[in-house]
């Protein structure tokens, strides 16, 4: 596993949590198993959970910090700025992103600056719309997948303007700055019953709003 030698220097894995106590221990364990032959760290940024997620993460993660609830995008960027290694992986905490794919993501990073693990089947119509519009601009088929590999310089200097865009703004910024964006296709496991983003109607509306923000930021 080598992305231009970056993995020899280490991999930082960043996740954000909000009431993820039931999955965070398994996620960290699987990440550590996957990266057991590589220098790595696991960074958990908790978005003010009320179920003890932070306490569950503290005993296993290398860094586990709580912050005011500001959403996934700011949490991922906050964690990325704490990363000490040149390769940064962002991953959801709900186990819908298989940590075992991290090695393949990092390998593909050898040819790109950002690699997105794109789901072959998107669950929401708003995500399909985003894929056909913003995804085509960026060059990926799953614009809102936050299972990504970044070269450190592509993310740590980002300055967010759009508020919560579910990671979309980070891709827009990478594209606007001329970074190479690639993707890895995978079959995602079933979504959990109560996703963090909300039920079907609420989730679609929030994604559509985020997409409009990203569209404006790209063309502004």
The string of pLDDT tens digits covering residues 132-157 is 999 999 999 999 999 999 999 999 99
When comparing pLDDT for 4 and 210, which is higher?
Answer: 210
Could you tell me what percentage of the chain is helix, strand and coil, using 3-state DSSP and rounding each to the nearest 5? 40, 15, 40
| pLDDT > 70 fraction of the chain, expressed in percent and rounded | 92
Domains and CATH numbers, the chain: 6-219 (3.90.550.10)
Strands 114-119 and 40-46, bridge-based pairing:
unpaired
Say if residue 198's pLDDT is above 80: no
Q: Label residue 9 by pLDDT band (50, 70, 90).
A: confident
When comparing pLDDT for 185 and 190, which is higher?
Answer: 185
Q: Within 13 Å of residue 32, how many CA atoms lie on the same side as its CB?
A: 12
Per-residue pLDDT at 194: 58
The string of pLDDT tens digits covering residues 96-120 is 999 999 999 999 999 999 999 999 9
Question: CA-CA distance, 95 to 168, in Å (whole number)?
Answer: 20
Q: Label residue 197 by pLDDT band (50, 70, 90).
A: low
Report H helices in 59-112. 72-82, 102-108
Say if residue 7's pLDDT is above 50: yes
Mean per-residue pLDDT, 44-58 = 97
User: CA of 111: how far to CAs of 23, 106, 115, 161, 167, in Å?
Assistant: 32, 10, 9, 29, 22
Say if residue 1's pLDDT is above 50: no
The overall average pLDDT reported for the chain is 93
The pTM of this model reads: 0.92
Per-residue pLDDT at 4: 47
Q: Label residue 220 by pLDDT band (50, 70, 90).
A: confident
Per-residue pLDDT at 204: 94
Per-residue pLDDT at 190: 75
Say if residue 69's pLDDT is above 60: yes
Mean per-residue pLDDT, 160-188 = 96
| pLDDT > 90 fraction of the chain, expressed in percent and rounded | 87
Residue among 147, 150, 164 nearest 198 (CA): 164
């Amino acid at each position: 596993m080598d992305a231009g030698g970056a993995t020899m220097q280490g991999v930082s894995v960043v996740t954000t949590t909000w009431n993820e106590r039931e999955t965070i221990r398994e996620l960290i364990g699987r990440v550590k198993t996957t990266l057991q032959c590589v220098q790595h760290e696991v960074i958990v940024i908790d978005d003010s959970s009320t179920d003890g997620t932070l306490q569950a993460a503290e005993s296993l993660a290398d860094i586990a910090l709580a912050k005011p609830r500001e959403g996934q995008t700011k949490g991922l960027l906050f964690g990325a700025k704490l990363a000490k290694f040149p390769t940064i992986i962002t991953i959801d905490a709900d186990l819908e992103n298989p940590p075992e794919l991290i090695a393949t993501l990092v390998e593909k990073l050898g040819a790109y600056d950002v690699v997105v693990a794109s789901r072959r089947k998107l669950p929401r119509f708003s995500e399909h719309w985003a894929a056909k519009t913003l995804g085509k601009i960026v060059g990926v088929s799953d614009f809102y997948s936050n299972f990504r590999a970044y070269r450190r310089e592509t993310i740590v200097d980002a300055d967010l303007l759009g508020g919560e865009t579910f990671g979309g703004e980070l891709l827009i910024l990478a594209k606007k700055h001329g970074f190479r964006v690639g993707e890895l296709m995978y079959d995602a496991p079933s979504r959990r019953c109560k996703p963090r983003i909300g039920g079907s109607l609420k989730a679609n509306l929030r994604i559509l709003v985020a997409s409009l923000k990203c569209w404006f930021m790209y063309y502004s």
